[in-house]
Structure 1
Amino acid sequence: MPYVQGIYPILFKENLSKNVFDFTIKSKEIASLAQPGQFVQIRVPYMPLRRPISLADINLDKDYIRIVFEIKGQGTGYLAQFKAWDNLDILGPLGRGFTMLPPNKRVYLIGGGIGTPPLVPLAGYYGGNATVITGFRNAKAVILDDEFKKFFNEHILCTDDGSMGIKGFVTDVLYQRLKGGDRPDMIYACGPKPMLQRVAQLAAEFDIECEISMEERMACGIGACLGCACKTHEHDGTSSYAHVCKDGPVFNSKEVIF
């Protein structure tokens, strides 16, 4: 996949919830190359390695990309201190994105926590043909709820403690839907590994195509350092290791060995 490196301005910054930030970034170059599911690597002060952040929006008409990230350490902490009209050193778009079906196909978008943002471009693309199921710890952690509604998607919100939406896990809702006979053409999922594992199990059980976006620690972002290994099935029945930054982050759910 082609990618570029450059200095790009932040057009807009918003604090979505505690420690979760939303940046809109002016970049015609990246927007023209990017597809849903890909990510960028951002240089932050005082840190030797760039930070990988998934793309939460790609707008070629207005020449911008968008990232939504959570402060998880020093690097993302420094990134959160940037302000509107500050410049960011960005490498991207990187990795393999989601397979895009014709927009009239029925799909499920399954998101958990900070894994939810990469699903936003898919929601915009499929519109009312997408059922979105997202899950968070509690009401204070919920993000992008209004974002999915503006695309006229069916959106089912879950929280662990029941403080907003349905009490329970996204995979419980997915199971009930599939068991009830609602069979989408594709399931897309992004979130914590236990959630992805269960989604993959359900997709296999009900024989539905499924793609999952994996998260691993990344350093280079282009497959050179070989640090973000993910165990996968080979076609001959053996196992091997793929690299999330280059071979993913999106994989067919049948490929991944959890």
Structure 2
Amino acid sequence: MSYLQSSYPLIAKRAIAKQTYDFTIHCPEIAVQSRAGQFVHIRVPGHTLRRPISICGIDAAKGNIRIVFEVRGSGTDEMAKFNVGDQVDILGPLGNGFTLLGSDKKALVVGGGIGVPPMVEVAKHYGENATAVIGFRSASAVILEEDFAAMGCDVRLCTDDGTRGHKGFVTDMVRQRLSEGAADIIYACGPTPMLKSVAEVAKEYGVRCQVSLEERMGCGIGACLVCACKIAAEKGEAMKHVCKDGPVFEAETVIFDK
């Protein structure tokens, strides 16, 4: 795994929902190496451990990456205080990303909550051949819908409370889309229960599925055991690092805890 560590300028910042921020960072060396589904590890002043944040967008030509994150604790709260012009200490790109097929293939990108941002770069590859199924708690939490629409994707929005789009789970919309026609692959990122359900639907319809797991991380490079997960192996099961071996895995190999 090849990665870099340095400080880079934050060149754009905006709040896109309550406690949710969109950063653009100018880091040419990292941008040119980044792939859809990878993440960066960001150093936060006053905190020992870095914060892993999925890469939302990559512009290798301009040398920029885009990250979108939600404030969930003291570390991300401190990150939210960064301002344009500040230097951001980044380790990355890290992890193994999604496998992208030919752009003419039919893809479903499925995201739940803060699992939606890494789906943007995947959807960009497929454009109008992608269906984006995105789910949130309520209308006030919806993010990035316009990004998927701008790329020509068929966007299907779900909210838990029904204040926007379909009231219910993303799996409802995944089933509906698959009932309308075949798909070549499904990509998903979000809470573990959602990933498990999407994997089950993919198996039912015989569609290849890749999932990006969300786990707490320590080092981000596979040196510690904080982000261990269970993966099916030839002889039972094996423990893998989400940061180094993932975060993307073939859904059929992941052993989801019951």
> Counterpart of 1:196?
195
Distance, in Å, in 2 between the alignment partners of 1:252 and 1:182 is 22
- Output the CA distance in 1 between the equivalents of 2:85 and 2:250: 38
Q: TM-score if structure 1 supplies the norm length?
A: 0.98
Match of 2:249 in 1: 251
Distance 2:185 2:236 in 1: 26
Secondary structure of 1:251's counterpart equals: strand
Aligned residues: 256
| Residue 177 of structure 2 corresponds to residue 185 of structure 1 | no
Separation in structure 1 between the aligned mates of residue 104 and residue 85 of structure 2, nearest angstrom: 38
The equivalent residue for 1:224 is 223
Task: For structure 1, list consecutive stretches of 5 or more residues without a partner in the other structure.
Answer: none
Residue by residue over 1:174-204, the C-alpha shift from the partner in whole angstroms, topping out at 9 and shown as x without a partner, is 12222x2522100000011110000111111
1:237 positional shift: 4.4
Are residues 1:144 and 2:132 paired?
no
CA distance in 2, matches of 1:135, 1:182: 21
State the secondary structure of the residue aligned to 1:194: helix
Show the counterpart of 2:19. Answer: 19
Aligned-partner Cα distance in 2 for 1:7–1:201: 41
SS of residue paired to 2:253:
coil
Q: Which letter does structure 1 place at the counterpart of 2:128?
A: G
Q: For residues 17 and 81 of structure 1, what CA distance do their matches in structure 2 show?
A: 15
Report Cα offsets for 1:142-183 as digits up to 9, x if no partner: 0001111110110001111111111111101112222x2522
> For residues 204-226 of structure 1, what are the alpha-carbon distances to aligned partners after superposition, in whole Å with 9 as ceiling and x for unaligned?
11111000000110010000012
Percent identical pairs in the alignment equals 53
Matching residue's letter, 1:188? Y
Measure the CA separation in 1 of the matches of 2:122 and 2:238: 30
Match of 1:199, SS state, is helix
Once the two structures are superposed, the pairs formed by residues 1-258 of structure 1 within 5 Å of their partners are: 1-178=1-178, 180-234=179-233, 236-258=234-256
What residue identity is the alignment partner of 1:233?
A
- Name stretches of at least 5 consecutive residues in structure 2 with no aligned partner: none
